[in-house]
Amino acid sequence: MTVADIVSRAGIARNTFYENFRSKEDCFLATQEYAMTAALERVVAAAGDLGNWADRVRAGLTAFLEYVAEEPALARTCMVEALAAGPAAVERYEKSQQAFVSLFKLGRDVSPHGAALPETLEEAIIGGVFWIVYQRLAVSEVATIPELLPQLIEFALTPYLGAEAAREVATGDGGTVQSQARS
Amino acid sequence: MSDPANPPVDSPEYPPELARLPPGRHGLPREFVSHNQRERLIAGLAEAVAENGYAGTTIAHITRNAAVSRRTFYEHFGSKDECFIAAYDTVMAELRKRVGEAFDQQDEWPQAVRAGIGAMLEFLAAEPNLARLSMVEALVAGPVVVERYDAAIQSLVPYFAAGREGLPDDVLAGLSPTTEEALVGGMVSLISRRIFADRTEELESLLPDLVEFTLTPYLGSAEAAKVARAS
């Protein structure tokens, strides 16, 4: 891809491109930043208001996968091409993963064995979720992404709540799961 | 430095410096010297990439590190990309071999997983240049390498999938088909982040966390923690 490709797709003059971006790389980083911010806003809006942590995770992951399915080209930019776009882009990709960490960490408070969970658990869970989505985007299987939702919810919740309670949330009848997990 | 990407030449009684001699004058067969030059170029690339990144690495860096001529470089590789692919494949073959051997030496699956992850961390921690080449720079080295990187990571899936064998039906029913892929992705993400941040010295301390993380879906968190924290 060249700057010429970008300006021709955008229907703007080359001059206009350089008034806005220093280079193709600069434009790439701005696109990545834009898409990541949009995705995170959607996740926060979906997950923010719910009182129950497991429901928040479910809502957050749902919003995330919806965004990816709606904007596969942007998601590819953020999660596939970013990995081959140089250190600055990779760094931002890593940071976007970290944004999910705080949401997952709250699960330690509701987990019966929260204190004993490995320190790196959240990083590993989010790395796993991103990897699965990344693989589907890399091979252009965008259509299969929404089907992954129950599997990813279950994967993310199991370490905190145990497999059974995690499955209940994943399959959608987990309204009172948090209190069940506590007992 | 012990360098598994550039193992000692085929006949160990020859000191490696011998290979610096041009072919013909010392009676070494031509293909022996040639093979060794290739290995040296691969090691030279790994060193150059660690110093300059993939994008900043030039063929001059590689030939200088390998102490061979530019012409010799082009006898072995058509481009920097081609040399990188050869280096990547060499590193991954070594990593795969070590992980496979460590895994196979254990009778019980949970211990085999622990040994396999341990072997991977040990190799990457001992070889920071190769760790960076295979887990970080590979991602910026073009579509061919990225495809191989993806395949290499997915090739770890069967080690974990083996844990399904013999599980009670109710546990099996609860394991989604993407469990192994997610575990592998999570594990690699933890490892690459440390390498990316130049913190390879932390890699080996990840062992208990990674073992617990990967065994939990199969054994439950209490049993997984026991295997992970066993000395």
Of B174, B189, B222, the CB nearest to A167: B174
Place of tokens 């390998």: B66
pLDDT in tens, B95-132: 999 999 999 999 999 999 999 999 999 999 999 989 99
Chain A contact for B184 (CB, 8 A cutoff): yes
Percent of chain B residues topping a pLDDT of 70: 85
Of A94, A120, A132, the CB nearest to B185: A132
B137, B203: one domain: yes
B60, B153: one domain: no
* Distance of residue A121 Cα from the nearest chain B Cα, in angstroms: 7
pLDDT at position A140, please? 75
B202, B218: one domain: yes
B110, B143: one domain: yes
B125, B217: one domain: yes
* Distance of residue A167 Cα from the nearest chain B Cα, in angstroms: 7
- Per the CB < 8 Å rule, is A155 touching B193? no
**ipTM more than 0.85?**
no
Of A85, A87, A155, the CB nearest to B182: A155
B40, B134: one domain: no
Chain A contact for B210 (CB, 8 A cutoff): yes
Q: Which residues of B touch A164 (CB under 8 A)?
A: 174
pLDDT at position B32, please? 60
Q: Answer with the one of B43, B78, B113 that is the final residue of a domain.
A: B78
B148, B133: one domain: yes
pLDDT in tens, A29-43: 888 888 888 888 998
Among A129-138, A171-180, B104-113, B148-157, whose mean pLDDT is lowest?
A171-180
**Selected residue of B136, B178, B196, B207 to mutate for chain A interface (largest A Cβ count, 10 A):** B178
Domains of chain A: 24-182 (1.10.357)
- Per the CB < 8 Å rule, is A150 touching B176? yes
Domain that residue B45 falls in:
16-78
Domains: count for chain B? 2
Higher pLDDT: B18 or B220? It is B220
Question: Does a structural domain hold residue B88?
Answer: yes
B74, B86: one domain: no
B120, B193: one domain: yes
Chain A contact for B168 (CB, 8 A cutoff): no
- Cα nearest neighbour of A150 on chain B: B176
B116, B201: one domain: yes
pLDDT at position B180, please? 95
B50, B103: one domain: no
pLDDT at position B8, please? 45
Q: Which residues of B touch A148 (CB under 8 A)?
A: 178
Q: Answer with the one of B78, B104, B121 that is the final residue of a domain.
A: B78
Question: Does a structural domain hold residue B8?
Answer: no
Per-residue pLDDT, averaged over B42-68, amounts to 92
Number of H helices, E strands in chain B: 12, 0
Between the two ends of chain B, the Cα-to-Cα distance in Å is: 29
Confidence grade of residue A142 (pLDDT, cut at 50, 70, 90): confident
Q: Answer with the one of B47, B63, B78 that is the final residue of a domain.
A: B78
B68, B109: one domain: no
The CATH number given to whatever domain includes residue B186 is 1.10.357
Question: Does a structural domain hold residue B4?
Answer: no
Check whether A3 has a pLDDT greater than 90. no
